[in-house]
């Protein structure tokens, strides 16, 4: 099963 990832898992706060 695939689950939806979020952008925060890849891009961090500077």
Partner 1 sequence: MLEAKLDAASQLKKIVEAIRDMLGECNIECNETGLALQSLDKSHIVLVSLLLGSDGFSEYRCDRGVTLGLNINSLATVLRCANNDDILTLRSEDRANELILTFEDSKADRISEFNLRLMDIDQEYLAIPETEYAATVVMSAAVLQRTLRDLSALSEAVTIEIDKEGIRFSAEGDLGKGSTHFKPCVDMENAENSINITLSEPVSLSFNLQYFSNITKASSLSSTVTLQMTAGMPAQIEYKLPSGHVRYYFAPKIED
Provide, rounded to whole angstroms, the least separation between the CB of residue 13 and partner 1.
Answer: 6
Token pair belonging to 1: 């099963």
In whole angstroms, how far apart are CA 3 and each of 6, 10, 11, 14?
A: 10, 15, 18, 26
Site string for partner 1, 1-14 (x = CB under 8 A): xxxxxxxxxxxxxx
Provide, rounded to whole angstroms, the least separation between the CB of residue 9 and partner 1.
Answer: 7
* Total interface residues for partner 1 by CB under 8 A: 14
**How far is 6 from 12, CA to CA, in rounded Å?**
11
Give contact residues for partner 1 (rule: CB under 8 A).
1-14
């Amino acid at each position: 099963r695939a689950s939806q990832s979020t952008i925060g898992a890849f891009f961090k706060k500077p």
